[in-house]
Amino acid sequence: MKRAFTILLAAIVFMAVLVAHLPAAWLLPALRGRLQCASVAGTLWSGDCTGVSIRGFSLDQLTWQVHARALLRGRLVAQLSAVRRGASASGEVSLPWRGPIEARNVFARVPINPQILPAVPAYIAGTIQAHLDRAVIARDGAIEYLRGHVVLLHLVDSSGEVTPLGSFTATFPGGAGKTIGRLHNLGGPLALRGTLRLTAAPGYVLHAEVAPRASASPSLLQALQYLGAQDAAGRRPLGLEGTY
């Protein structure tokens, strides 16, 4: 009996070591059609993939580090890092067998251009920076919970004359209920304050007030007139909504 137990224990250890060192490339045939890599290195638990295509979405590089202990709790948890055309993001992603996806300690920097963000008009340029403590995302992409902040840096509108708009931030406090962020400007020619509510569409609804500052250019002053009449303090309403 003791010898049989020793053999069984040795077999378990052998299988654990084997799985821990399985090449990541062995997994690709099983994921064919969902994920493709031009080049893959490392193991199933720690590796990287270059030339990534995930259901039509491409990445230059994807790196992962899987937390094996989380599998015992029925969750796949991994530290991920991704790079795409000058954009980068990293954070811990938790994927349960069922239910929403959860991300923690996410850092991202994304240049605003049509190749990366096709939904943004081509005449808007700048950079998005995000630091999210926690985000909960439904399987359909709707954001159910968000705590952290997102910054829009050095926005420029080149639809006509090149017009600097300034920098802005959206702070999401988290908590139960609706996912609403507080908006305000970080200097520049355009003062802004308001809210950004994320909906279950998935989508967004923005309500804000904007006003020119002393550094506003003539082209910005002209563009603001299309928003409607200003109040006694010189502010004009700005409302936007859509899906993503």
pTM: 0.81
Secondary element (H or E) of residue 224 = helix 218-224
pLDDT in 10s for each residue of the chain, 244 residues: 444 444 444 444 334 443 444 455 555 554 555 667 778 888 778 888 888 887 677 889 988 888 877 777 778 888 999 998 889 999 999 988 888 999 999 999 999 988 888 878 888 999 999 999 999 998 888 899 999 999 999 999 998 888 999 999 999 998 877 799 999 999 899 999 999 999 888 888 999 999 999 999 999 998 898 888 989 888 999 998 888 7
Q: What is the DSSP letter of 3?
A: H
Q: Are 179 and 204 in contact (CB under 8 A)?
A: no
Residue-wise DSSP of 187-215: SSSEEEEEEEEEETTTEEEEEEEEEE-TT
Would you state the pLDDT for residue 228? Answer: 86
| Residue among 76, 87, 93, 160 at smallest CA distance from 130 | 87
| Residue among 238, 218, 225 at smallest CA distance from 163 | 218
